[in-house]
Amino acid sequence: QKEVEQNSGPLSVPEGAIASLNCTYSDRGSQSFFWYRQYSGKSPELIMSIYSNGDKEDGRFTAQLNKASQYVSLLIRDSQPSDSATYLCAADTGRRALTFGSGTRLQVQP
């Protein structure tokens, strides 16, 4: 079992819709969670971080964390074609060494 699991996709949504990206993790010691966006051939870019159960909103992005279910999600509202990228979920047990999922490829159709 992978430590951080993501559906590889592609997840295809129409422009303007809500994209929902999901991630599960196996290490209950994980304390912090991160969502990175990576365009093809580029470096990962931090979008959101979340540490407490519940929702955290930043513009069009909402991160959700449920530690009991070991589940993290990222919602992207009003999806745009420019949001098309691979989204990486990462977890940290406090060691500062992030454990990444393999990423979900999102395609936003114009």
Partner 1 sequence: EAGVTQFPSHSVIEKGQTVTLRCDPISGHDNLYWYRRVMGKEIKFLLHFVKESKQDESGMPNNRFLAERTGGTYSTLKVQPAELEDSGVYFCASSQDVPASGYGYTFGSGTRLTVV
User: Residue 46 class from Cβ within 10 Å (0-12 exposed, 13-18 middle, 19+ buried)?
Assistant: exposed
87 counts as binding partner 1 under rule CB under 8 A: no
The CA-based dihedral angle spanning residues 70, 29, 10, 88, taken in that order and rounded to the nearest 10 degrees: 140
Number of amino acids touching partner 1 (CB under 8 A): 22
21, 30, 44, 106: which one binds partner 1 (CB under 8 A)? 44
Q: Is 2 in the site for partner 1 (CB under 8 A)?
A: yes
> Structure tokens of 21?
């990206």
Q: Is 4 one of the binding residues for partner 1 (CB under 8 A)?
A: yes
Give the SS3 label for residue 83: helix
Specify the residue, 13 or 44, whose C-beta has the smaller distance to partner 1.
44
7 vs 17, beta carbon nearer partner 1:
7
Our CA angle for 25, 108, 45, nearest 5°, is 50
Site residues (vs partner 1, CB under 8 A): 2, 4, 32, 34, 36, 42-46, 49, 51, 88, 95-103
